[in-house]
Amino acid sequence: MKGAQAWRPGSMGDLQILPGSRHRPPLKRPIWIIFFVSLVSLFLVCAYIYPPQGSAACYVFSSRGCKVLTNWLPPSPTRESSDEEIASQVVIRDILNIPTVISEKSKIAFMFLTPSSLPFEKLWDMFFRGHEGKFSVYVHASKEKTVHVSRYFLNRETRSREVVWGKFSMVDAERRLLARALEDPDNQHFVLLSDSCVPLHSFDYVYDYLMHANMSFVDCFLDPGPHGNGRYSDHMLPEVEKKDFRKGAQWFSMKRQHALIVMADSLYYSRFRDYCKPGFDGKNCIADEHYLPTFFSMIDPGGIANWSVTHVDWSERKWHPKSYKAQDVTEALLQNITSIDMSIHVTSEAKSVELVQPCLWNGIKRPCYLFARKFYPETVDKLMTLLNF
């Protein structure tokens, strides 16, 4: 029997040495990551609760603007429609589903909104001559009794009331003209014109352009600036939200179905009548620039062209557009206006933005304008010579 071996100092062959505990420095938390994530989260929450009021703010995080930010945010909860809204939607839907029927008897209603006599009656007489049965004329003279030089304008006045620029009386005058024109079932298209408007093309060209268009020509665009969405009042809630507020020139040309829904509307009409007027809420809301653009943008956005067939020159960037005197009226001017095929809107922000879109007629790019304003009365003879319909 083998004896047990004695342990001797220095003999380490059979000894297993366990590793000692290593010294580890305390973990450093990634403070900068936590801070960055918190900052981004705070930004998104604030953007959701307080959305950017100007388009410039949207470009801080993306060159593509507000759309990118909107796509990141959760959708707003759907609001339940009121009884009044539901009734309005049903009526509008049924009217829009009425088929358009164009026949040999179909007419265009030319509706003139004027303070007194029309200075271009001679020119319009030349435009209408030989096309009897294809048009109707209606005149709303708000200040003085009109004196006519053309047989087409005799006894064509509607019931008229005072119209003040910038006030809701302008919208009421437009509706008064529409109501009178809708009495004739043969009127299938409705054109609003001012006393300073002139035709740019022959009657046949205008008739074919309007009667065979698959949309109405209502000017409409989003202006985030002080003279656009800056005029909006929260009193229009809940039916009209700020994101739906639009701007555009009042000089429309619309199909019969659209004329009917304008007359049928009381809901949105009342909101603009009560809360879109100069001085209300300390703002300068001009109803004739906002009511119809907002209304159509909300109820039938695909049914309007978003531009007007009436040309006006705002290039001087003043409160009123450029006016043309006799020396301004040349063949080159008329050719320039009638060749324009792009619609341009300019926002009222401090750093204004030009919104450019092609004038598409039934999907085809065509010249935009059939009429133009503002021409002084002294230009009538020169215009008759140059246009010579």
Residue extents of the structural domains in the chain: 103-387
**Confidence at 143, pLDDT banded by 50, 70, 90:** confident
Q: What is the DSSP string of 136-152?
A: EEEEEESSS----SSGG
> What are 38's two structure tokens?
């918190």
- Among the residue ranges 24-33, 136-145, 311-320, the one predicted with the least confidence is 24-33
* Residue 379 to residue 385: CA distance in whole angstroms: 10
The pLDDT score that the predictor gives to residue 315 is: 82
> What are 299's two structure tokens?
């109820």
> What are 10's two structure tokens?
């220095």
Q: Determine contact, residues 116/140, Cβ cutoff 8 Å.
A: no
Of the chain, the end-to-end C-alpha distance in Å amounts to 138
The pLDDT score that the predictor gives to residue 245 is: 98
The mean pLDDT of 61-73, rounded to a whole number, is: 48
This prediction has a pTM of 0.80
Size of the chain in residues: 389
* Residue 203 to residue 388: CA distance in whole angstroms: 12
> What are 353's two structure tokens?
């933005």
The rounded radius of gyration (Å) of the Cα atoms in the chain is 33
DSSP 218: E
Q: Work out the number of other CB atoms within 10 angstroms of the CB of residue 154.
A: 11
For residue range 204-241, what is the model confidence (pLDDT) as tens digits? 999 999 999 999 999 999 999 999 999 999 999 999 99
The pLDDT score that the predictor gives to residue 9 is: 43
Q: Work out the number of other CB atoms within 10 angstroms of the CB of residue 263.
A: 13
> What are 193's two structure tokens?
């014109």
* Residue 257 to residue 216: CA distance in whole angstroms: 10
